[in-house]
Structure 1
């Protein structure tokens, strides 16, 4: 025991254990608590449990997570027991069968999910992209596993603020932003979602975070004063109705303010809705809606509402169970203020999400989340689907707001905002989607691509001759529809290719010719097709004539039989081609190291920022599986890190850049004089290892703006050239694009 816990950890353990047992109350039987304690004491005594990259004690970390799950999410009993035991099972000190016998099926099921997800995190505190699919599949098996993993991530994010392990902290923070915050949002844990996003900003963009935080502190006094003056008349009027309620002002999260500053391209001072007012009513279940609308009436009588900003989640709650009435009104001094009206039950569901929803409803399927999880499973279990595309779509789906659409019979369906007629057809059934030719929306004819709005009544029109098309992927927005369309297209292509192959083989038999696979492969390559599939695809589409192929096949056979000529011809062509490729590859291997010490990985330099030797760079895993190298200051870097953090890998230049040149675009602005252009080109031509590829000049009002493309080996030479160009008389600016 002494070896496993430090003195500080022992004190923390005792306090945490008491807090946890108090929070769990009678949800854990006394006998079970005793058994749990004994297992933990034994595990600590054996000293077999591993600390993570941040040096955290696993027992204390699990206990902290269990406290968050119990107090902030509201799940107790078997969930707490599962969290506390999973490390012991993971370390093979206890089997799942033992757990099942001692604590029952429920605890064993939770531990099974946790062990599975934890195995993916075995090497690193942040998940690797190739395991991402498996992680989400594990999540999709049991809702409670998602909730525990979110709580665990919140716990880690709270604990690592002073940790010196900067690299892992950034990776953990990125993952919190692109996976755990959206999941928390989807599951209705809005408070936790905001905390994860704020901490992400604090770790990844410290200056931005503290700038906004300081600004909020500076304006706090005036904000509080304004909130008090806004609330006062409402407080009196609502109190007159006899309702029991509380009103509070809530400042928006730092991350959401930062998002607004970016989206609206406005300074901090330009953001008007820095806070929201929340009115929470203590209401009987049967009077909830009536009393919320009563308060709505009082607020809108007092302050002018903006009808476009009304959000009614009372009549139709969100699929995560969120219920509330949001209205934006014009307050004193002409400021817009968001007012949220809800009951105590609704507020608890908004704070605690899914767990609170289950507690009130008593059944899991009620919230509509089961349907969402089913679509996640379908998308992930289809092994043909492109992993990266599924992940990107999954991330987008998590944050989507919803539209509510009705069938002609009045059945209600919830879809992501931006969903089209075709999305709706696939949402009802994949066969209906595949045959869809349009719809009647509110009685009027509508095309496949028409976007649906809440309240639309949609009748899908079908035709037996209709089949899915490639461009449908650009029409639909939901991951379910995209997955089903890709599946159908793949099956159709497969059938077409099979038919094309059979057609060729039948023609061979008709001409009484022998079919030699090797000869055919050489012919396909000679015709310029990169893959056999591409060749058969063209044949199936009718772009190639079968009889012409057979004539070419005979010609190819003749070439192959003339071995002497072929040998000379192939060796010359093959030798040159291979030498070029080898030189290019070995050059790249020498100068770029991707993700720690891997060399020789297939990579390309991104055209959006044209990195060269010496730039600070990172790798981005593309949909096709290759890697694109971007500069750290690439204009797209922020968006890539935020949306697709799991696809980013480390990269650095190594070795020497000798012999390798990279295209760079320079923008030059100066006085409109042909002499200046001559001087610029003269300087470039005299530079060793730099050559000019193209130049384009635009002149306007006595100024010229030139775009030069040059070939250069590294940043040192580039910077030296830029310095020289800036000294040319009449040149005002020289910048790298």
Structure 2
């Protein structure tokens, strides 16, 4: 058998490798000597790079703090080293020390480095690690973890989508998952397991409707569609009712509407309509917090009729210094802006400051902004704000 060229070079350098199968510690010791010799050669030939001798051109040999050696490809980083020790250590790797110095996880390892991996139970692999690792073991373990996490998130999304749809039929997903109909639906749609079906829904490869149509009885589906059709007829009936409101519903005039007291929208505000039983359409400001609590299926698009002019009541608070004549100037300013004052309340507070509450009629949001800007310009007034919620 041909002699190992590394062994021949070692003998030429005065080293004798261990040949005993039980001499693992001796082999590590020999390898460490070889690495140290390599470093000495590198240092001595640093000036003449043409004469550089590289015993291990494709690999680097690094050590654990206990002296165990790990063979890694050139360019490997501490993450590769961590996965070479154990998959879980790789997953939990948060940092590393090389030769007792803290280093970045991107740091390239070299022959003879002693590497200590720092872990945390709260750490998880990052997709970005795939860009820096060199070993196939590290790359495969990271990819598997990322894929598993994405699958779990997709199943979680599918749970939410399907449960929401099933509740329209008086069912819940948790109960349905244990019924044979779920496994049958998965099989019908070409999946071996229910979990595969859920993952497909979460990934967006399959719609929730496709699943619902297979797990909800046909008579319940027809009944639900009939109810939706009935809701559409209610909307059309509401739209046909006469009104003098300056609101248009999806481009159709003459709709019975009322304005929500929780946000008191003005012409010019972004708005959304909500079908209220017995009251037609309730109009909310688009940013109204109460709108988020309503059923999305009963919301309708609404828009202001720009061709119609009508005044709307709005409340404003005017904060000012409590000084002689300031109230007269405030009321005069509102009147000059062609806004009608319907009610006023004056409150004096400590520190010679006052709060004046007004309810005024304005044409739209722009008209209100004009009034507020004029008030802010008055001497003694330091703050003006719109109060969204009306009294009563």
TM-score range, shorter chain: 0.3 to 0.5
Q: TM-score, normalised by structure 1?
A: 0.23
Report the structure number with the largest CA radius of gyration. 2
Larger relative contact order, structure 1 or 2 (CA cutoff 8 Å, min sep 6): 2
